[in-house]
């Protein structure tokens, strides 16, 4: 399948693995790239630019295919050393960066000068147009159903994607709620040039996270996610657990008076405990509603091959037959 996204990133299949904190290590990124998609290392999971440089080198040993690095610009108090991370990316010969969160404009010249393509992940047409205007090469349009930060507009992909298609000139991929060949064909039909997946890729053999995290995704239904931190305008879709129930209760009780400090125990620094140790109630962790469509833990290659086979079947048989 050739789309503007496969051409832009020089990949075989129009499938991207979105950056995921404490999931997007070299093992997963290289597996996705080796299977013909675009794997992405999560930059900020690496404590320092030197650590990121080492992770990039490790990934390079595991694949000779293109892979990317995610740089998330979050509203944190003490800003990470972004110029240092960018230097590690450029020096490591990485050709794709997925930016997310705040406007990446300040960092685009350094990336573009080094020949790096930038795909910005955003949750509204407004922000996608801004990304286009500042010179991003592509966008990843993240609908309300997505795991992680869906923004504050709450527009699901059935509206968001055609709206993006109507407005954007640069190519975009659909993100949020994507799991299988049906998702890919639907995304293409709505105007996207491919899809980005988060939650689905966690439940794969190569994802270097605790088995309990994978099992939790397989067991979850579409009713098991919750939105937290909305009063802080930092909404996150997470899988319900004891910590999330406490957050929801505090948000109900404190209303708009709630402060980050009130929930810090449930959200700060919890990812290593959950992802690496499998402490499933240690805190809140991002997960999409799409968990309900995840029924197994295949290898990344099995997953991607299956998606492409299914998509091709839908297009060349089911849809073609309908056209008589």
Ligand X SMILES: Cc1cc2nc3c(=O)[nH]c(=O)nc-3n(C[C@H](O)[C@H](O)[C@H](O)COP(=O)(O)O)c2cc1C
Q: Minimum CB separation from ligand X for residue 115, in Å?
A: 22
Told to check if 290 binds ligand X by CB under 6 A, we report yes
Among the listed ranges 88-96, 110-118, 195-203, 262-270, the one in contact with ligand X (CB under 6 A) is 195-203
Q: Are 143 and 155 in contact, with CB atoms under 8 Å apart?
A: yes
- What DSSP letter does each residue of 161-185 carry, written as one string? HHHHHHH-SS-EEEESS--SHHHHH
**Taking Cα atoms as reference points, which of 205, 199, 204, 213 lies closest to residue 271?**
213
Contact 14, 140 (CB under 8 A): no
Segment interacting with ligand X (CB under 6 A) among 12-20, 110-118, 249-257, 305-313: 12-20
Minimal distance, residue 307 CB to ligand X, in Å: 13
> Are residues 54 and 240 in contact, defined by beta-carbon separation less than 8 angstroms?
no
In whole angstroms, how close is the CB of 239 to ligand X at the nearest point? Answer: 9
Is the distance from CB of 281 to CB of 243 less than 8 angstroms?
yes
**Which backbone phi and psi does 41 adopt, to 5 degrees?**
-85, 140
CA atoms within 13 A on the CB side of 277: 11
Q: Which of 175, 183, 204, 241 binds ligand X (CB under 6 A)?
A: 175
Q: How many CB atoms lie within 10 A of CB 164?
A: 24
Instruction: Figure out which of the listed residues 11, 23, 38, 119 binds ligand X, where binding follows CB under 6 A.
Output: 23
Smaller CB distance to ligand X: residue 18 or 92? 18
Residue written as token pair 């509203």: 75
Q: How is residue 319 written in tokens?
A: 């849809």
Q: How many residues bind ligand X (CB under 6 A)?
A: 29
Question: Does residue number 197 form part of the binding site for ligand X (CB under 6 A)?
Answer: yes
Question: Which residue's Cβ has the minimum distance to ligand X?
Answer: 198
Select the span of 83-91, 107-115, 174-182, 309-317 touching ligand X (CB under 6 A).
Answer: 174-182
Regarding 19 and contact with ligand X (CB under 6 A), the answer is yes
How many whole angstroms separate alpha carbon 156 and alpha carbon 161? 8
Q: Which of 42, 22, 7, 16 is nearest to 201 (CA)?
A: 16
**Is 100 near ligand X (CB under 6 A)?**
yes
Q: Which of 42, 123, 183, 204 binds ligand X (CB under 6 A)?
A: 42
Binding residue (CB under 6 A) for ligand X from 27, 55, 142, 180: 142
User: Binding pattern to ligand X, positions 60-89, x when CB under 6 A?
Assistant: ----------x-x-----------------
> Strand 39-42 and strand 67-73: pairing?
parallel
Residue 148 binds ligand X, judged by CB under 6 A: yes
Q: Which residues bind ligand X (CB under 6 A)?
A: 18-21, 23, 42, 70, 72, 100, 121, 142, 145-148, 175-178, 196-200, 285-288, 290
């Amino acid at each position: 399948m050739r789309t503007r996204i496969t051409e832009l990133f020089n990949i075989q299949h129009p499938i991207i693995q979105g950056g995921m904190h404490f999931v997007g290590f070299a093992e997963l990124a290289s597996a996705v790239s080796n299977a013909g998609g675009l794997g992405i290392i999560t930059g900020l999971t690496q404590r320092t630019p030197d650590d990121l440089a080492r992770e990039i080198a490790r990934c390079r040993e595991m694949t000779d295919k293109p892979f990317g690095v995610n740089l998330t610009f979050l509203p944190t108090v003490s800003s990470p050393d972004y110029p240092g991370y960018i230097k590690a990316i450029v020096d490591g010969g990485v050709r794709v960066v997925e930016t997310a969160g705040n406007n990446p404009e300040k960092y685009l010249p350094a990336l573009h000068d080094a020949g790096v393509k930038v795909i910005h992940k955003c949750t509204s047409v407004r922000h996608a147009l801004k990304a286009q205007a500042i010179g991003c090469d592509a966008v990843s349009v993240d609908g309300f159903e997505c795991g992680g930060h869906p923004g504050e507009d709450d527009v699901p992909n059935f509206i968001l994607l055609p709206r993006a298609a109507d407005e954007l000139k640069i190519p975009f991929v659909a993100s949020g709620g994507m799991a299988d060949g049906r998702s890919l064909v639907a995304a293409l039909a709505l105007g996207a040039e491919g899809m980005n997946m988060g939650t689905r890729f966690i439940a794969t053999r190569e994802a270097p996270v605790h088995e309990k995290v994978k099992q939790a995704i397989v067991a979850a239904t579409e009713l098991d996610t919750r939105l937290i931190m909305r009063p802080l305008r930092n909404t996150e879709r997470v899988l319900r657990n004891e910590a999330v129930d406490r957050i929801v209760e505090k948000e109900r009780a404190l209303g708009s008076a709630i402060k980050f400090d009130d929930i810090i125990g449930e959200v700060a620094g919890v990812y290593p405990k959950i992802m690496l140790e499998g402490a499933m109630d240690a805190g809140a962790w991002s997960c999409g509603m799409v968990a309900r469509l995840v029924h197994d833990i295949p290898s990344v290659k099995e997953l991607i091959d299956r998606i492409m086979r299914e998509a091709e079947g839908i297009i060349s048989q089911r849809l073609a037959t309908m056209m008589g």
